[in-house]
Amino acid sequence: MNLIIKSTISAAIAIVILLISAAPLFSQSSATKRNKWFVSGSAGMAVLTGEISNDFVPLKNEFNHQPGWAADIKIGKSIGGHFEPAIRLSSYFFTGTSEAPHFSANGNHASLKGTLYDQPVEYRTLTGSVSGIIRYYLKEIPGKFVSGFRFDPFIEAGGGVVYMGSQLSYQKRPPGATRSVVFEKGMGNQPPPAVGQVVFGLGTKLGNPDKWHVGISYNVDVVNYAVLDAVHNYNDDGIRNHAKGIVSKFMAEVIFPLGKTSKYSGSGGKTPRLPWSP
């Protein structure tokens, strides 16, 4: 688990350095005074919804998936009237259970070719990820001073890299077994695999965008790897399905705008009157 955290932090530091280096390019005043930097934190629930093949065919569910926690930190900037690109650092943890290790991988995967006990098993999965996201607001982002409550629905999409670790084990060590762990990936001293993901979401922001405000969202992360439940999937011919995991997240967000918002706007607000103006 420590390696997952270290890998995610290393990727995050690299991106933060890139953002700091590029900050002068984005800090110039825009004509509309519309563009704003922000930072936000989110917390909520994550669950492995299911898995699909490369042909987008849903695969048989081999576990009773249990919800766990999810957390995000995000930094970004609104651009123009509708767009908001951001960098998102995420982590989630969830589990799942099965009454016995009866899987399509039995006899096919090396870890499931030996003695298996007819006892309940559980998987545990922890991830850390870095993603770039573009959010699109269905209503125009205000370009002038805002002093009231707003309802700003949005959709978003992006992609990034996930560092993950998962472990399958018996809930109780079987009599005669030397250990309870059946299979693990990216745990202990194993380097966590880094795999790609695409992310989608929809939700809304609520409150005064000139001050700290809140948001709620439903997000889907499609992870390009089949062991979010710690078990690979095989078809009836014993050929491995290189499946993709689908993770659903329900999140509550707190957003903090950075810097001061101008009372003037080039698109709807009045410009300040100078002493020498006619």
How confident is the model over 6-13, as a mean pLDDT?
57
Q: State yes or no: pLDDT of 30 exceeds 60.
A: no
Q: Write out the two tokens for 156.
A: 């978003």
What does the alpha-carbon distance between residue 195 and residue 89 come to, in Å, rounded to a whole number?
15
Q: Kindly report the pTM of this predicted structure.
A: 0.80
Could you tell me the domains of the chain? 2-258 (2.40.160.20)
List pLDDT tens digits, range 195-236. 999 999 999 999 988 889 999 999 999 999 988 999 988 888
How confident is the model over 230-251, as a mean pLDDT?
90
Least reliable range by pLDDT among 64-73, 179-188, 214-223: 179-188
Q: Write out the two tokens for 6.
A: 């270290």
pLDDT score of 254? 97
Q: Write out the two tokens for 67.
A: 């919800």
CA torsion 196-188-3-184 (nearest 10°) is 10
> Which tops the pLDDT comparison, 231 or 145?
231
Q: Provide φ and ψ at 19, rounded to 5°.
A: -65, -45
What does the alpha-carbon distance between residue 123 and residue 186 come to, in Å, rounded to a whole number?
13
What does the alpha-carbon distance between residue 125 and residue 164 come to, in Å, rounded to a whole number?
7
How confident is the model over 117-131, as a mean pLDDT?
95
Q: State yes or no: pLDDT of 268 exceeds 80.
A: no
Q: State yes or no: pLDDT of 144 exceeds 60.
A: no
Asked whether the beta carbons of 142 and 200 are under 8 A apart, the reply is no
How confident is the model over 40-64, as a mean pLDDT?
93
Q: State yes or no: pLDDT of 249 exceeds 90.
A: yes
Indicate the pLDDT class of residue 73, thresholds 50, 70 and 90.
very high
pLDDT score of 87? 95
> If you average pLDDT over every residue of the chain, what do you get?
83
Least reliable range by pLDDT among 199-203, 206-210, 242-246, 274-278: 274-278
pLDDT score of 113? 80
